[in-house]
Amino acid sequence: MKIFMLGTSGLVGSTCYSKLLLEKSSSEIVTFTRRRLNLHGGIERIGDLNDMASLMEGLEAEVAFCAVGTTIKKAKTRAAFEEVDLNLPLRFACAARDHGVKSFHLVSALGADASSSQTYLRTKGVLENELKSIGFPTLHIYQPSLLIGQRTELRIGEELVAGLYRRFHALYPKALNKYRPIEVEQLSRFIIRKIMENSPGTQVWTNEQMISG
């Protein structure tokens, strides 16, 4: 299986990358990045992510996985945020389709809704709708809640919530699994399983399903 990946420097992307390397059927992983990541076991295509078609020149893959994303605070402007969380994934998806990809997997977010008044959730929802219109035979969208894992960047609010959850997780009611923080290891295992199963059709996986699965 040949896999295109975008967002490998992030928490979910890097974890999934490492797990995919352990899969015997993952014979080749190509990751696309603006700067060298010095990843082991795969191929890095480094360059202008505004021109995904050129970066994919001469390549083909069956699967594409996108875990790219930022925050409005880090991006500083709505336009910059939408460039990373909407425009870049769409360029990646369209180029991947043109290079043989039939199965596309996206890490989105809990509450993604194109009609939301919140910029973050609305952008995620618009992206999901746009991907559905591209026509991938297999499209899996993952909507996790707050991620628990070791990030390279500090997000104080998320760290506080994650810390409280780690301390009191046994008291967390199952009825609220929809909103329960999810360990990145658990999320990544779920995603890898779905990539390997390669079940056709469009499927949106909720946080509760991923925790239970």
pLDDT digits (tens, 9 = 90+) for 165-188: 455 455 555 655 678 889 999 999
Are the C-beta atoms of 141 and 128 separated by less than 8 Å? yes
Q: Which domain holds residue 111?
A: 2-146+183-207
Domain with residue 67: its CATH number is 3.40.50.720
Structure tokens that stand for 51 in this block: 């021109």
3-class SS at 86?
A: helix
Tell whether 213 is covered by a domain.
no
**Residue 85, pLDDT score:** 97
**Residue 169, pLDDT score:** 52
Tell whether 70 is covered by a domain.
yes
Tell whether 162 is covered by a domain.
no
**Residue 79, pLDDT score:** 95
Instruction: Quote the number of domains for the chain.
Output: 1
**Residue 173, pLDDT score:** 58
DSSP 84: I
Are the C-beta atoms of 190 and 210 separated by less than 8 Å? yes
Model pTM above 0.85: yes
Tell whether 52 is covered by a domain.
yes
**Residue 156, pLDDT score:** 47
Tell whether 106 is covered by a domain.
yes
Q: Which amino acid is at 54?
A: S
* Ranges of the chain whose pLDDT falls below 50: 154, 156-157, 161-162, 164-165, 168
Task: Give 201's contacts (C-beta < 8 A, 6+ positions apart).
Answer: 137, 138, 139
Tell whether 175 is covered by a domain.
no
**Residue 40, pLDDT score:** 84
Tell whether 167 is covered by a domain.
no
Pairing, β 43-46 against β 63-66:
unpaired
Tell whether 177 is covered by a domain.
no
